[in-house]
Amino acid sequence: MTAATNPATSGVKSVPGAPLLELEDVKMHFRTKGDGLLARGTKWVQAVDGVSLTVQPGETVGLVGESGCGKSTTARLITRLLEPTAGKIKYQGVDIAHMSERQLRPYRREIQLIFQDPYSSLNPRHTVGTIVGTALRTHGMVAKGGELKRVQELLEVVGLNPEHYNRYPHEFSGGQRQRIGIARALAARPKIIVADEPVSALDVSIQAQVMNLLENLRKELGIAFVFIAHDLGVVRHFCDRVAVMYLGRMVEEGPRNDLYEQPQHPYTQALLSAVPDIAVVRGVPPKTRIRLVGDVPSPVDPPSGCRFRTRCWKAQDICATQDPALEVKPTGTTTVACHFAEPPVESIVAEVV
Ligand X SMILES: Nc1ncnc2c1ncn2[C@@H]1O[C@H](COP(=O)(O)OP(=O)(O)OP(=O)(O)O)[C@@H](O)[C@H]1O
Q: Is 305 in the site for another protein (CB under 8 A)?
A: yes
For 176, 203, 204, the CA distances from 213, given in Å and listed in that order, are 11, 15, 14
Residues counted in the chain: 353
Report the Cα 259 to chain-centroid distance in Å. 16
Residue 319 binding target from ligand X, ligand SF4, Mg ion, none, CB below 5 to 8 Å by type: ligand SF4
Exposure b/e, 151-161, CB count within 10 A at least 16 = b: bbbbbebbbbe
Kindly identify the residues of this chain, within the stretch 200-219, that bind another protein according to CB under 8 A.
203-209, 211-212
Closer by beta carbon to Mg ion, 75 or else 251: 75
Q: Among 268, 239, 251, 233, which residue's Cα sits nearest to residue 344? A: 268
Kindly identify the residues of this chain, within the stretch 141-160, that bind another protein according to CB under 8 A.
none
Question: CA-CA distance, 103 to 114, in Å (whole number)?
Answer: 22
Closer by beta carbon to Mg ion, 72 or else 269: 72
Question: CA-CA distance, 143 to 147, in Å (whole number)?
Answer: 7
Question: CA-CA distance, 237 to 140, in Å (whole number)?
Answer: 34
Residue 103 binding target from another protein, Mg ion, ligand SF4, none, CB below 5 to 8 Å by type: none
Residue 338 binding target from ligand SF4, ligand X, another protein, none, CB below 5 to 8 Å by type: ligand SF4
Q: Which of 99, 148, 279, 300 binds another protein (CB under 8 A)?
A: 279
Closer by beta carbon to ligand SF4, 200 or else 310: 310
Residue 350 binding target from another protein, ligand X, Mg ion, none, CB below 5 to 8 Å by type: another protein
Residue 72 binding target from Mg ion, another protein, ligand SF4, none, CB below 5 to 8 Å by type: Mg ion
Question: CA-CA distance, 196 to 191, in Å (whole number)?
Answer: 16
Residue 295 binding target from another protein, ligand X, ligand SF4, none, CB below 5 to 8 Å by type: another protein
Segment interacting with Mg ion, rule: CB under 5 A, options 69-77, 219-227, 267-275, 324-332: 69-77
Residue 276 binding target from ligand SF4, another protein, Mg ion, none, CB below 5 to 8 Å by type: another protein
User: Which residues make up the interface to ligand X (CB under 6 A)?
Assistant: 30, 32, 45, 47, 67-73, 230, 299
3-state secondary structure of 250: strand
Question: CA-CA distance, 21 to 95, in Å (whole number)?
Answer: 10
The residue whose Cβ lies closest to Mg ion is 72
Q: Is 72 in the site for Mg ion (CB under 5 A)?
A: yes
Closer by beta carbon to ligand X, 27 or else 237: 27
Q: Is 272 in the site for another protein (CB under 8 A)?
A: yes
Q: Is 295 in the site for another protein (CB under 8 A)?
A: yes
Residue 32 binding target from Mg ion, ligand X, ligand SF4, none, CB below 5 to 8 Å by type: ligand X
For 140, 281, 337, 344, 349, the CA distances from 261, given in Å and listed in that order, are 45, 20, 18, 9, 6
Q: How many CB atoms lie within 10 A of CB 146?
A: 12
Q: Among 238, 235, 232, 313, which residue's Cα sits nearest to residue 272? A: 232
Question: CA-CA distance, 64 to 88, in Å (whole number)?
Answer: 21
Closer by beta carbon to Mg ion, 22 or else 197: 197
Provide the binding-site residues for Mg ion, judged by CB under 5 A. Answer: 72
